Amino acid sequence: SVQHDGAIPIFLSAPTQKIFDCKTDDDVTASRPYKLVKKEDILKDIFNRAAVCDFQPHRKTIDKYPGEEFLLIYDADYKFGENFLIAMTVEAKDLYLNVSQSLFCQMQNTVHLIVQVMLLES
């Protein structure tokens, strides 16, 4: 599987999306692609659903993960070959969340400036 900045592509089936509240185009969208999932919930799912669990192939990496939450990133366009990426390191999770926060702040600032210009022109 291709790594992308510490994240790997993963296919999450409809039943898995329902279990983890990450239903595509509902809980997660192209504009809201992030979902934090507890490591213990993923491990429970691996235990309960065994071979049919979408996370099963990544169990060894999931076991070693030092954090409490994994970051799922919805890949609406399948840029990396599957419908999600999962950040497999705490650093990758923080990187994605920080980039997201930074983009959000930039968008807020842009909207604020547009509103100021509109107020000045009126």
Tell me which residue range forms the domain holding 40. Answer: 7-121
Per-residue pLDDT, averaged over 104-108, amounts to: 60
Q: Order of strands across the sheet with 34-38?
A: 7-10, 84-87, 69-74, 34-38
CA atoms within 13 A on the CB side of 84: 30
Q: Tell me the whole-structure pTM to 2 decimals.
A: 0.78
Asked if the structure places residue 31 within a domain, the reply is yes
Summarised one tens digit per residue, pLDDT across range 56-100 is 999 999 999 999 999 999 999 999 899 999 999 998 898 888 876
What pLDDT was estimated at residue 1?
45
What pLDDT was estimated at residue 121?
75
Asked if the structure places residue 45 within a domain, the reply is yes
Asked if the structure places residue 77 within a domain, the reply is yes
Asked if the structure places residue 2 within a domain, the reply is no
Q: How many Cβ atoms from other residues are within 10 Å of residue 101's Cβ?
A: 10
Q: In this model, does residue 110 exceed pLDDT 80?
A: no
Per-residue pLDDT, averaged over 100-119, amounts to: 66
What's the mean per-residue pLDDT of the chain?
A: 87
What pLDDT was estimated at residue 100?
62
Asked if the structure places residue 1 within a domain, the reply is no
CA distance 55 to 112: 42
3-class SS at 69? strand
At 86, list the tokens. 């999962």
Count of the separate structural domains present in the chain: 1
